[in-house]
Structure 1
């Protein structure tokens, strides 16, 4: 019997429904939960030839004690830097001569290393050592650290259990300013090199050691990367390794190593208020200090937006935690693993990281109000008040978006007190003309955007992450498993910001037992477990071997 028009339409509708259903089913399938990137141990093909040396590094009491003495000598050679140091070395050669003493210490401590490398001093005290490889077609590997340390306040000296410049060793830990940030990295790199030389290793790939001398104040005098770019050109390096990252931490029950494969952006921003002043006996309702106080309240009340996207390596860190955690609630796990394609799940994931874990700094921009000054006399109204705020910029934001947010936050206070408003981000921009009541200036002192993402697919990452697995699962703790190596975000900033032109494979990582914050870096009683230092030497020994035998 022939089909009627109505029945044909019905078949078409049913058919379309089936097709659409299949499409959405396929779509849901294609938007399945993301997975933690898998990595496996990697060791060099010559591993068996170096097992005895690695065992000596990790277990020999004689090697351990000799290594302690090298660390102690580095701590005792003081290399503190301050925010108000002379910008040009030429302005005060005597002040900067402490780095000459430090370099002489390195020369006397590591004669084998000096015999195999050539040293280029850049801007007087930047140290660039080149260990020439036999194959000039291979891109060099750059290994970094910095010579300088933060200062020790005389007001806190009585709180140090060990003299900050003694390098005390109690059989387990070494104590002293800069030992965790990052003299242990610098000394460990050279110890690993000397062990390789003693093992008759001769590199195919050139290895470059680059040590700045003012990282703790932002590195304005660090010209090492510029010198390397002039010598080798852009995109000329195999990879760059510097301090940073989190090694061996337990996150929600998961044993993690989280090297930094990107860094948040950075900005120092001043807010300056200029008002007429006058005699304190006839004050206005609010002085400029009071007005600044209102701005501070608004700035600290403001919540920066949170992001949980693949633009941020922390996305993969928490995907790995969710996938492997025995502690995380199943509903939260599901939200994190679905956050890449489900808006509600993404919101739950962001809030969980921020509120429940207290790790909001990895998913949003942060601000810290660090310095404020104003007023000169008790009976004179302040005419000039200055606030300095440090901002670490989320991967999804820019310097300009953060400045715009700050303007939006303080503008109601500016309007309330009838002030002018000027921003100097892109040249002087008068947002509101100056008035008799005064003026507010936003001044960007220094700023740079978030770092480019380091790729985590391919042989570069496989060798790097695989070496972490090998050192910590096969050498440090034989037969142990369960370590998850995941990319992460650097909340601080390192000298790698100057090396972006040289390679897109930049790793911020320091082997060891403790994240830096647990070792009190920059704080009172800074220390490292000596075992951590030995792990660092073993890691770099192994990593250099593995990188040297691979081709570009």
Structure 2
């Protein structure tokens, strides 16, 4: 027995030594030694132009028949009027009637081009919540140094930030070395099938292969939320895939006074419960990558935890079940969202359906997700089918290639707060999925500080501080300059 305890003690000491070694050698940084850059924006009425753009109700309604497409045409005309140098010197194409593609031709065709991506559509305001807005969602109000309205963050902020940056550079007689494509979709909030997808196909057919593309999907946030003293610039290098699976069961029907031992609803209910109870396996690769970026800000015991996530997966598995955010970052998520059965309470259902939404981790696919669900159900009476638009996870973009290094350098140059730059993963979706074939790497980041606890994206009282918006423009100005200087 003493020998057993002795061996156990040695094993624990070796494990402790291994964990400590990992912690001491954990962490990497893409931060570069750079000087701050001051960009003086000279154009007048910059905040007012964005505010006025927010007055255009370019809403992606659930039913396409309810979308006011003429509002998009009006926004196009507004852009033409407010950005005369872009109108004069860039090539503009209207893609599939309502999306925009601008080409800013570079002087050196041997250099790979770059994609500057965004979208013009916004989500609807939830009916009945209008009185909860401090300023009406389409008023275009500027008050107390803040621009208010739907689209102020998602995502007319980027559309007009890019336009203002290019107009600024044109006014400075700047001639880019690389070609820049400004691509603004009109239906990102519906998955982008008619907008960004068509632009991506057009660029693919023209043989475009960009150095990188940058789109929405990450912000600068207060680091104290994660227990850090410095702010965090979340540059998302990947995003989860998306699939909704419909579970359907066909039953005999009949009167509820003489029910069968199992009805379509009871069979379906067991299937939904089985899928919910059988969690997808934990994958700590995203947390590890993010942890490496912030390692310099952590205490030794915190490093020890992050550096040894692989050893801690059984614990993470338990904790993730009770922590939605941790769950989202470590596994393919499972969310039963819809159920339907009999049209009347005393009629046995002939047909019962449920919909389960999954956000798929990189490394998995729609096919593997469906196979996992079918295996969890293990009942031939339940049919599983894919419904609606679905996408596999995006490829994980490089954190060592020039595109990422250019972005991180630019963040450091234009930021007065010196944020920690973290290569994250976006749980939601962006238009970047439609540009995978035309860019070496795709990144999701807007240089704008937001408070994630206030839920301004898609939420009530969407807004952006004027100074934060001006910094967005400065970021895009410097990003273009830095990209041109890179070989």
User: TM-score by structure 2 length?
Assistant: 0.86
Unaligned runs of 5+ in 2: 1-16
Q: Give the structure 2 partner of residue 434 of structure 1.
A: none
5 Å-filtered alignment, 1:131-150, equals 131-150=104-123
Partners of 2:356 and 2:131 in 1: CA distance:
29
Q: Give the structure 2 partner of residue 449 of structure 1.
A: 392
SS in 2 for 1:164: coil
1:521 aligns with 2:464: no
SS in 1 for 2:129: helix
5 Å-filtered alignment, 1:44-55, equals 51=38, 54-55=39-40
1:120 aligns with 2:97: no
Q: Give the structure 1 partner of residue 264 of structure 2.
A: 288
Q: Give the structure 2 partner of residue 80 of structure 1.
A: 59
Q: Give the structure 1 partner of residue 148 of structure 2.
A: 175
Structure 1 residue 350: deviation in Å?
6.9
Partners of 1:344 and 1:282 in 2: CA distance:
54
Structure 1 residue 138: deviation in Å?
1.5
1:253 aligns with 2:228: yes
Structure 1 residue 205: deviation in Å?
1.2
Deviations 1:128-151 (A, max 9, x none): 101111222221111000111111
Asked whether the equivalents of residues 176 and 526 of structure 1 are also in contact (C-alpha less than 8 Å), the reply is yes
Partners of 2:357 and 2:456 in 1: CA distance:
21
Matching residue within 162, 165, 168 for 1:189 = 162
Asked whether the equivalents of residues 36 and 316 of structure 1 are also in contact (C-alpha less than 8 Å), the reply is no
Q: CA 1:95/1:355 → structure 2, altered by over 3 Å: closer, same or farther? A: closer
SS in 2 for 1:420: coil
Deviations 1:17-68 (A, max 9, x none): xxxxxxxx99x98997332223125569xx6xxx4xx2347xxxx84xx222
Q: CA 1:32/1:503 → structure 2, altered by over 3 Å: closer, same or farther? A: farther
User: Who wins on radius of gyration, i.e. which is larger?
Assistant: 1
Coordinate RMSD, CA, aligned: 3.0
Structure 1 residue 452: deviation in Å?
1.2
Asked whether the equivalents of residues 282 and 313 of structure 2 are also in contact (C-alpha less than 8 Å), the reply is no
Q: Give the structure 2 partner of residue 461 of structure 1.
A: 404
Q: Give the structure 2 partner of residue 360 of structure 1.
A: 327
1:40 aligns with 2:32: yes
Deviations 1:392-444 (A, max 9, x none): 11123222221122123333xx4xxxx623xxxxxxxxxxxxxxxxxx34334
Q: Give the structure 2 partner of residue 303 of structure 1.
A: 279
5 Å-filtered alignment, 1:260-275, equals 260-275=236-251
Partners of 1:394 and 1:333 in 2: CA distance:
24
Q: Give the structure 2 partner of residue 4 of structure 1.
A: none
Q: CA 1:134/1:400 → structure 2, altered by over 3 Å: closer, same or farther? A: same
Asked whether the equivalents of residues 241 and 361 of structure 2 are also in contact (C-alpha less than 8 Å), the reply is yes
Asked whether the equivalents of residues 512 and 536 of structure 1 are also in contact (C-alpha less than 8 Å), the reply is yes
Matching residue within 428, 439, 450 for 1:492 = 428
Q: Give the structure 2 partner of residue 335 of structure 1.
A: 305
Deviations 1:61-96 (A, max 9, x none): x84xx222212222111111134326xxxxx9x853
1:162 aligns with 2:138: no
SS in 2 for 1:257: strand
Deviations 1:77-116 (A, max 9, x none): 1111134326xxxxx9x85333212211211222222112
SS in 1 for 2:283: coil
Q: Which deviates further from its counterpart, 144-153 or 34-43? A: 34-43
Structure 1 residue 210: deviation in Å?
0.4
Q: Give the structure 1 partner of residue 13 of structure 2.
A: none
Count of residues paired in the alignment: 465
Q: Give the structure 2 partner of residue 426 of structure 1.
A: none
1:227 aligns with 2:219: no
Q: CA 1:280/1:316 → structure 2, altered by over 3 Å: closer, same or farther? A: same
1:71 aligns with 2:47: no
Asked whether the equivalents of residues 273 and 441 of structure 1 are also in contact (C-alpha less than 8 Å), the reply is no
SS in 2 for 1:103: helix
Unaligned runs of 5+ in 1: 1-24, 87-91, 422-439
Structure 1 residue 515: deviation in Å?
5.4
Asked whether the equivalents of residues 159 and 524 of structure 1 are also in contact (C-alpha less than 8 Å), the reply is yes
